[in-house]
Structure 1
């Protein structure tokens, strides 16, 4: 055996410290080198391809060089003017990141003349970068590029300019001035590496790793080669002389696809595919090859469809395969249904039971023809059921039932007997005005005011939309639509005009919207207000100092109103002394109190209503027996039920609350006969709102609205004994008045 001289032993020891290990790779499939980097050989971080980090955090058995590297970095670092404190350029990118590298010379071949043998890939799709110690030239896929600083050894680790290396591997570098750190990002795999000069701890996708500390060398950020390799899954090897580091990765296109549909029928289904091919580096896919793909498959069985794709550099992907099950020719679905009976009376419920079947369970469409739940003309009734599967095959089944001339329930009785509160039904709206009226008396025991802000209805500028000074119990109603180009918020502000403190108590606030549909906003607000009256929440109280202004009913401004959206709100408030209330509209981010003093008091739009109206509650009492015949009770027609008058307190003009919006109606029907149905029927146009009937909220309707006088909604039906029925509601904004309450006797045969 040849003996080594002292100089040779020293050389071996020095080279053994050049590439020390720094911590286990965060990539799956990592193969670790020994504790000291070899003079020759290969280390693989990940599988050499672009991949995402795993959660592995184990460190190698020994890391003798780490302390030396950290000390060198923190002690000022070799040739570093101001390590860890890079100067920032005007663009926000620190100079320390470096300016990247420039090609030494243009070249079109895969390998330039004079390029090292190791500077090019040995197989298709291999990307290679070659670094030489003490050289400012790096080779990328056979082409030479100049770095701003040469690769150098410091503290036992080999460093290169960060940006030069990152640009070659398409890694972005971002600088965080607050933390004075750099974020390296590889977009295709969303891999991130955080580097802070002077610190030996690096963060890869949230996992800490240890290595020699990065430093700044004459304005250029220098990072250990090993850190970049470990973070981004690069294969690293060292030549036999220990002077060259070779970084490589396999970058192949991916030939992914999915078949449409995901199953087929022999001889029928046209098979296509959705292209999911991609490249980790974003290169274009320019060609593909298929095996086994056909437009149609004539024979049932299992088929494997395989695809390869080629990128713009001529590199082919690995094969990508999908299995297709081809089934026998599609069988059409089988339509079938039954009815609970064959012979029915007029106005008797017909129940349909669908037993249709498809061998794949893929019925896509069900169509009933003539399948009414009740009939009011005697004779034979033909009902047809048509079902269609997702392949377009269909079948029909027809059944005939007989309707006798015996009447069980009338068209008006039917929905009460078989339906539930809130159900919508049709009727002959033209017959309603001919029904006898239910008389009632109006009781207005309170002077409770209604503060109504609805003019200008359209929000086109910031300002005060209505204001009045009030005390005691007050009901507020706001209804506005944003017609400006910006998001707005609407606020209710209370100001103490007196010389003594005032207490303000907010009992309830209910908001509908913001919503793009006015009927939806009005219906939601009315529903929530009625629910809040049934289920009171804790009163919020506040004290206003003399001259102080504060926002109350914060819920109205909790959500910004987008352009074209509508908001409706109700609030019940009490005070122990006069308070000036103002409805204020400002920008989404504005402080309403800060801007309050400068806002103009806007004029009415001359079309919609605003003002203070008394009384805000109307009690109607009907003492006559109801339900002996079909009848109606008329509401908000301005004839039997007059609209409330008031004053626009901004201008002093008298106003009429057309429609009585915001007025709370309490209707007491003291004698309703057994088996009587109660419904609501709109007479002025569409209607969507809510009613409380004997303590239960009924939406009209739950998922829709009443479109016109030919529709009605079930509110209630009495039982087998006479009842007193109380109905509470407020006319919903965005809907039309008047409305009628209809009373329908439900005794079989159309009588009572």
Structure 2
């Protein structure tokens, strides 16, 4: 029976210690310290620490003429840890310079390697560990007196801070510290964190471990944030803790917060509830569309899958043209993709390349389209010239070998000063043949043809006005119809489903204060958008799935004269896409 009671008391003691550890005060130790009085009253649970009154789990009690007090309270007051070790079923106390292990199972105490009788310095009362006050006070050097008239113990405590210098490493522990721009924020208001951490050895910090840190908090309440840092030696700082209060009227809703604050290029997840509430019924903006017929467009994307060598597409150009090709090698052998230029005149013709987009052969279709379109929209390619003698055929472009499964996307803006025949060709790498001996490939599984306009401009004037979200939709074959042209090889009409190779220049005058975002609607999408001269990758990595969310393309302040958006459908992506204009209000 006695052993059962002792076991029950020991379990209660362990529970009290674990709970007290969880509920212990948070924060970082200050650099300096000040002294304060601690007053303990015999047979009373009230104690005084400095200017505060605290309640003890068990009142101080006298056993055999000595005062015993709760161990947890003494540890917190004198500045050392009192912890339960579940593996060894012991309580560990670590006054500075000492190591104490208490075992109720064995009724022993080990102090700095020396065994002491449990009952000589410790007792268990109502499941709480009490320790002999004079024992721990003497170990820690804390002065104390007993006031017989008031029946209380009076201690003068100076919790001198623990040093951070590690002698055997000749290195200091780093110091974690931070603050926020203010103590009180509104729900949905961005929280500005200011990191004040430092390394006393000036070697830099390599690890920051935050807990509770968020960009904002949407519910009112008090929030605790902590930070621990580490240096290059693996030394970790003490945990620094602070809190902020969130209250008052809503600043931004959970839906609006990322629209106002996420960096350009960020992905913003949109659930179906949010989609139907905010994006499903967005009306399209009116626009004026003009087509630039000065540059023709040749598209070689059929057969998209190369299964045999041959001429994939061919037509003539004279003047400005855009050459667009997207092909994948499924022939089972290595092929070489080439673009030939044949001079159809009786004098030399110069073919000038003013811009281009290319990609190294890859098995990933979305990478083909993304990389080639990015280089093309970036428009940084140096101009080059190729002079083709009368009646001669030259290789204008030759890509690296396509291994089975690999492919590429190419876009060339060219200008010729005479008539040229352009041939898009897949050659057997091991057995290349003259162009005139190659057969035309007539498998039409995708888009192929020549179109009268490679560029189109959309003009809008928003006059600084926009009360609700609006959008522009690209590639829907309704408000943005697909180009209709002619297949010069099959001698049949051709529709450019997807407007591949087309460059859109969207010119918006007097834009209001707004966010500009892109949402995929037709399926997987991966490609660039150019906003006021800067490339934004959609998305920055991976692919964007239809209806899954939006990519932040940019924001306007409402003071710009114009907003310019450049876009070209990236190969292997799916259309349509929505360019969403979301008005932003002035936040107070």
Q: TM-score, normalised by structure 2?
A: 0.61
Alpha-carbon spacing, 1:586–1:349, altered in 2? closer, same or farther (3 Å): same
Gaps of 5+ in 1: 1-326
Residue 388 to residue 503, structure 1, CA distance change in 2 (3 Å): closer
Cα contact 1:667–1:727 (8 A) shared by 2: yes
Measure the CA separation in 2 of the matches of 1:474 and 1:339: 57
Q: 1:670 aligns with which of 492, 509, 525?
A: 509
Q: Give runs of aligned pairs for residues 96-245 of structure 1, distance below 5 A.
A: none
Change (3 A) 1:337 1:598: farther
Structure 2 distance, partners of 1:707, 1:395, is: 44
Change over 3 Å in CA distance of 1:418–1:470 after alignment to 2: same
Report what 1:423 is aligned to.
266
Change (3 A) 1:445 1:662: closer
**Preserved CA contact (<8 Å) 1:694 1:725:** yes
Residues 597, 683 of structure 1: alpha-carbon distance in 2 compared, 3 angstrom cutoff: same
- Of 197, 214, 218, the match for 1:372: 214
C-alpha distance in structure 1 between counterparts of 2:217 and 2:283, whole Å: 27
Q: Does 1:723 align with 2:551?
A: no
How far does the alpha carbon of each residue in 1:313-360 deviate from its partner, in whole angstroms, 9 at most, with x for none? Answer: xxxxxxxxxxxxxx99xxx99998765544322332224567899999
- CA separation in 2, counterparts of 1:613 and 1:398? 65
Cα distance in structure 1, aligned partners of 2:200 and 2:427: 61
- Aligned in 2, Cα 1:436/1:494: closer, same or farther, shift over 3 Å? same
Q: Per-residue displacement from partner, 1:492-548 (whole Å, max 9, x unpaired)?
A: 10123455543322222220232332222211111111122xx462341312322x2
Question: Kindly tell me: are residues 501 and 712 of structure 1, through their superposed partners in 2, closer, same or farther at Cα, counting changes over 3 Å?
Answer: same
Matched-pair contact (CA < 8 Å) for 2:356–2:381: no
- Identify which of 730, 735, 741 aligns with 2:573: 735
**Cα distance in 2 for residues equivalent to 1:448 and 1:631:** 31
SS of 1:577's partner is coil
SS at match of 1:444: strand
For the 8 Å contact 1:526–1:730, the answer to whether it is kept is: yes
Is 1:550 matched up with 2:394?
Answer: yes
* 1:507 equivalenced with 2:351 (yes/no): no
Checking the alignment, whether the CA contact within 8 Å between 1:664 and 1:729 is kept in structure 2 is yes
Cα distance change, pair 704–342 in 1 and its aligned pair in 2 (3 A): farther
Give the C-alpha shift of residue 632 in structure 1. 1.6
Query: 2:450–2:486: 8 Å Cα contact kept in structure 1?
Result: yes
Distance in 2, matches of 1:401 and 1:649, equals 70
The alpha-carbon deviation at position 578 of structure 1 amounts to 2.9
Equivalent positions of 1:105-504 (< 5 A) are 339-352=180-193, 371-380=213-222, 401-410=244-253, 414-415=257-258, 417-427=260-270, 428-430=274-276, 431-446=278-293, 448-504=295-351
Corresponding residue number in structure 1 for 2:416: 575
Q: Which residue of 2 aligns with 1:180?
A: none
Counterparts in 2 of 1:601 and 1:402: CA distance versus 1, 3 Å:
farther
Structure 1 partner of 2:548: 710
* Superposition deviation, residue 667 in structure 1: 0.7
* Cα gap change, 1:479 to 1:445, in 2 (>3 Å): closer
1:239 aligns with: none
Q: How many Å apart are 1:551 and its aligned residue?
A: 0.8
Partners of 2:471 and 2:581 within 8 A in 1: yes
Contact 1:413 1:677 in 2 (8 A): no
How many correspondences in the alignment? 412
* 2:526 paired with 1:688: yes
| Larger Rg belongs to | 1
Query: Which one has more relative contact order, counting CA pairs under 8 Å at least 6 apart?
Result: 2
Give 1:669 deviation, angstroms.
Answer: 0.7
Cα separation, partners in 2 of 1:470 and 1:696, compared to 1, 3 Å: same
Q: Helix, strand or coil for the counterpart of 1:665? A: strand
CA distance in 2, matches of 1:388, 1:589: 58
Q: Which of 695, 698, 704 is the aligned partner of 2:536? A: 698
Contact persistence 2:388–2:394 (CA under 8 A): no
C-alpha deviation, 1:478, in angstroms:
1.1
- CA distance in 1 between counterparts of 2:207 and 2:330 reads 41
1:36 corresponds to: none
- Mark the CA change 1:417 to 1:604 in structure 2 (over 3 Å): closer, same or farther: same
Distance 2:447 2:226 in 1: 52
Q: Residue 413 of structure 1 contacts residue 745 of structure 1 at CA under 8 Å; is this kept in 2?
A: no
The correspondence for 1:563, drawn from 364, 386, 404, is 404
Distance 1:402 1:656, change over 3 A: farther
